[in-house]
């Protein structure tokens, strides 16, 4: 599952760290599309290429290597990549040595077709094979031909990736699980990311310790189906996500833990209990439901009913009464009637989400639903989406307004746009702006919330910050 993680500022999808001043450094530009798993992968690609002399830059003009780390989840993904490649082909004519690589899910889905359609492409690398980039660059230099890697050697990827060697953000992504075996009928992920695979707990804990030593204080565990995590340790023992979270919570300088994205079917008893027992596990859960209609849920192959979902929400609230939820919804799935859509609205009214993502259904090539005959008219999809979004926005506003006057712990992440301002997150993932010095970045402070603008809260430090 690829639910998005709201960015602290407007989506900054271009991955960049300060470029090295050293003129011998090769300039690497990575453009990241889509979900937080891609953001994680982009960072790892930069780490992987650093020993080859590549340093990230902010502009593609003049770059020695450009990587488009693509997303295939929604409509026209491939077309957008091809038009970006058209622009890169022009730049490449000015700088013929420039390497152009396409990574991510569109690369996986398109494979050879990419190099056939756009001669400027030097490398095509799927999400499970990008650890082979250094070798691909060497092969390309040797043969000057196109290089393609789109296997699923998931077991080897994480072992082959180097540990991050640069400073980490206060909140750091850590991929623990990849792939999906659920096969929702609308979704390309099982085909582009491959089968479910979990990393060993030892390698995850080592990566978390490394991130913390580089400044991370919040760890966001990532996986397409993160709560399906089943890692095997070096003694052959199985770990579920709850056990992994518990072990991460023992790392002293990890202040906060989150995980995303989850499937309702995989919320096991241990994980629900963890929300009540592990203080460092934040009271916020992104739990996509997609629809509130049982017949649509069945047609989507979600493997649960609306009532199952509502009962799950109830159990999580019993374990952690202040937990907030977000979700993903699809409006206008084939066969969705007015009554089905009403059932979705009823589910939303009953849960009260604090934020949400909603999309019009778009057929994805190769997925079972793409062949469906009973399509919903575009105008109906649009009006349903608008109605759904209006309701979701109302609920988000309500949740944010309820924060005014409250004092909450904020983990400060970075300087804000205004002078002397810091921006951080509440336990419920709301961005919070405060006037405070940069020395507080990476610490938790109690903030009294005074106002709300757009989607962010504004407040003042209530007491001395504590970690
Ligand atoms: N059409 C519309 N939305 C989709 N999503 C995934 N596939 C499709 C599709 N074919 C949405 C789902 C998923 C989110 C990441 O993207 O809501 O949870
Ligand atoms: Fe999520 Fe279903 Fe797609 Fe798997 S198939 S990634 S569970 S939406």
Alpha-carbon Rg for the chain, nearest whole angstrom, is: 22
d(CA 367, CA 94): 40
Assign 5 a pLDDT band (cuts: 50, 70, 90): very low
204 in ligand 1 pocket by Cβ < 6 Å?
no
Are 412 and 441 a contacting pair, CB within 8 Å? yes
> To 10 degrees, the CA torsion angle through 350, 351, 352, 355?
-140
Mean pLDDT of 71-99: 90
Across 59-68, 71-80, 256-265, 352-361, least confident range: 71-80
Confidence grade of residue 239 (pLDDT, cut at 50, 70, 90): very high
The number of the ligand nearest the C-alpha atom of 190 reads 2
Q: Is the CB of 330 under 6 A from ligand 1?
A: yes
Q: Which domains does the chain have, with CATH numbers?
A: 6-153 (3.40.50.12160), 156-400 (3.80.30.20), 407-465 (2.40.50.140)
Contacts of 23 (CB under 8 A, 6+ apart): none
CA of 2, closest atom in ligand 2: 6
Can you give the pLDDT at residue 365?
87
For a substitution probing ligand 1, which of 4, 6, 73 has the most ligand atoms within 8 Å of its CB? 73
**Ligand 2, atom 2: closest residue by C-alpha:** 184
Q: Supply the pLDDT for residue 153.
A: 64
- pLDDT for 143 equals 82
Ligand 1 pocket test: which of 6, 187, 326, 365 has the largest number of ligand atoms within 8 Å of its C-beta? 187
Q: Is 300 in the pocket of ligand 2 (CB under 6 A)?
A: no
d(CA 360, CA 224): 20
pLDDT recorded at residue 222: 96
Q: What is the pLDDT of residues 419-434, one digit of tens each?
A: 999 999 999 999 999 9
> For residue 466, is pLDDT > 90?
no
Ligand nearest to the CA of 2: 1
Give the distance (Å) from ligand 1 centre to CA of residue 270: 28
Residue nearest to atom 17 of ligand 1 (CA): 328
Q: How confident is the model at residue 349 (pLDDT cuts 50, 70, 90)?
A: very high
The Å distance, Cα 1 to ligand 2 centre, comes to 4
State the pLDDT at residue 6. 44
Ligand 1 nearest-atom number relative to CA 188: 7
Question: pLDDT value at position 232?
Answer: 96
**Ligand 2: which atom is nearest the Cα of residue 328?**
8
Find the helix or strand (DSSP H, E) in which 36 lies: helix 36-49
| Spatial distance between the Cα atoms of 427 and 408, rounded to a whole number of angstroms | 8
* CA angle (442 as vertex; 436, 445 as ends), nearest 5: 55
Report pLDDT for 463: 64
DSSP strand pairing (123-125 vs 99-103): parallel
Tokens found for residue 44 = 């790892």
**413 touches ligand 1 (CB under 6 Å):** no
Q: How far apart are the first and last CA of the chain?
A: 32
Bridge-based pairing of strands 238-240 and 230-232 is antiparallel
Report which protein residue has its CA nearest ligand 1's atom 14: 3
Name the pLDDT band for 155 (thresholds 50, 70, 90).
low
Average pLDDT over residues 106-113: 90
Q: Find the DSSP H helices in 50-200.
A: 77-94, 104-110, 112-117, 133-143, 154-160, 189-192
Which of 263, 289, 358, 369 has the most ligand 2 atoms within 8 A of CB, as the residue to mutate? Answer: 263
Please report the DSSP string for 343-406 in residue order.
HHHHHHHHH--SEEEEEE----TTSGGGG-SSPPPHHHHHHHHHHHHHHHHHHHHHHHHTTTT-
Q: Average per-residue pLDDT in the chain?
A: 91
Question: How far apart are alpha carbons 244 and 239 in whole angstroms?
Answer: 7
Rounded distance between C-alpha atoms, residue 183 and residue 370, angstroms: 13
Work out the pLDDT band at 21, boundaries 50, 70, 90: low
- The band of 44, judged by pLDDT with boundaries at 50, 70 and 90, is very high
Mean pLDDT across 81-100: 93
For the segment 157-167, what is each residue's pLDDT rounded down to a tens digit? 887 888 887 78
pLDDT at 324 over 60: yes
Q: Is 225 in the pocket of ligand 2 (CB under 6 A)?
A: yes
- Residue 17 has what pLDDT? 44
Cis peptide before 261 (omega within 30 of 0): yes
Q: Can you tell me the distance from the alpha carbon of 316 to that of 313, in angstroms, rounded to the nearest whole number?
A: 5
Rounded CA separation 428/420 (Å): 24
CA distances for 229 relative to 205, 232, 292, 396, 461, angstroms: 14, 10, 26, 30, 38
| Cα of 13 from ligand 1 centre, angstroms | 19
Residues forming a β-bridge with 239: 231
Q: Quickly tell me which residue has 């916020």 as its tokens.
A: 284
The reply to whether ligand 1 has any atom less than 6 angstroms from the CB of 361 is yes
Q: Ligand 2 centroid vs 405 CA: distance in angstroms?
A: 39
Nearest atom in ligand 2 to 263's CA: 7
pLDDT for 20 equals: 45
With a CB cutoff of 8 Å and minimum separation 6, the contacts of 200 are 231, 232, 233, 234
Q: Of all atoms in ligand 2, which is nearest to the CA of residue 302?
A: 2
User: Which atom of ligand 2 is closest in space to residue 190's alpha carbon?
Assistant: 5
Beta-strand relationship, 407-415 and 421-425:
antiparallel
Predicted local confidence at residue 77, as pLDDT: 81
Report residue 71: phi and psi, to 5°: -125, 140
How do residues 254-312 score in pLDDT, each as one tens digit?
Answer: 999 999 999 999 999 999 999 999 999 999 999 999 999 999 999 999 999 999 999 99
Q: Percentage of residues in the chain with pLDDT exceeding 70? A: 93
| Token pair in block for residue 433 | 């702006």
Ligand 2 close to Cβ of residue 180 (< 6 A)? yes
- pLDDT tens digit string along 174-224? 999 999 999 999 999 999 888 999 999 999 999 999 999 999 999 999 999
Is the pLDDT at 156 greater than 80? The verdict is: no
Contact indicator for 67, 49 with CB cutoff of 8 Å: no
């Amino acid at each position: 599952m690829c639910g998005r993680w709201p960015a602290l500022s407007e989506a900054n999808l271009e991955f960049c760290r300060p470029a090295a001043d050293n003129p011998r450094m090769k300039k690497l530009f990575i453009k990241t599309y889509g979900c937080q798993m891609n953001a994680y992968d982009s960072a790892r690609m930069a780490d992987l290429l650093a020993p080859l002399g590549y340093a990230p830059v902010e502009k593609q003009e003049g770059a020695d290597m450009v990587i488009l780390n693509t997303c295939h989840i929604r409509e026209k993904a491939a077309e957008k990549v091809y038009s970006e490649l058209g622009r890169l082909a022009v730049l490449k004519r000015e700088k013929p040595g420039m390497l152009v690589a396409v990574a991510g899910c569109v690369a996986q889905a398109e494979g050879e077709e990419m190099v056939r359609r756009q001669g400027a492409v030097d490398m095509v690398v799927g999400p499970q094979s990008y650890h082979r980039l250094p070798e691909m660059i060497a092969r390309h230099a040797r043969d000057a031909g196109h290089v393609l890697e789109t296997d699923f050697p998931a077991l080897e990827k994480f072992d082959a990736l180097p540990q991050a060697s640069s400073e980490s953000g206060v909140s750091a992504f850590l991929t623990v699980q990849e792939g999906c075996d659920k096969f929702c009928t609308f979704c390309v992920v099982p085909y582009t990311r491959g089968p479910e695979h979990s990393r060993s707990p030892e390698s995850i804990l080592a990566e978390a310790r490394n991130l913390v030593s580089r400044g991370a204080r919040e760890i966001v565990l990532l996986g397409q189906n993160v709560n399906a995590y089943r890692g095997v340790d070096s003694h052959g023992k199985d770990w579920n996500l709850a056990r992994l979270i518990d072990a991460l919570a023992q790392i002293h300088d990890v202040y906060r833990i989150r995980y995303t994205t989850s499937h309702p079917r995989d919320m096991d008893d241990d994980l629900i209990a963890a929300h009540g027992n592990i203080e460092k596990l934040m009271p916020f859960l992104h739990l996509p439901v997609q629809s509130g209609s049982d017949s649509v849920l069945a047609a989507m192959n979600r493997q649960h009913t609306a009532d199952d979902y509502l009962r799950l929400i109830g159990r999580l609230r019993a374990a952690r009464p202040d937990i907030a939820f977000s979700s993903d919804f699809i409006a206008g799935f084939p066969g969705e009637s007015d009554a089905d859509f009403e059932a979705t609205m009823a589910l939303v009214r009953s849960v009260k989400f604090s934020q949400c993502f909603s999309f019009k259904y778009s057929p994805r090539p190769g997925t079972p639903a793409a062949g469906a005959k009973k399509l919903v008219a575009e105008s109906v999809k649009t009006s349903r989406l608008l109605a759904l979004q209006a309701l979701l926005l109302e609920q988000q506003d309500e949740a944010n307004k309820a924060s005014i006057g409250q004092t909450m712990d904020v983990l400060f992440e970075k300087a804000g746009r205004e002078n002397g301002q810091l921006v951080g997150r509440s336990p419920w993932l709301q961005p919070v702006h405060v006037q405070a010095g940069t020395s507080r970045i990476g610490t938790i402070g109690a903030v009294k919330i005074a106002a709300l603008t757009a989607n962010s809260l504004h407040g003042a430090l209530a007491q001395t910050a504590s970690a």
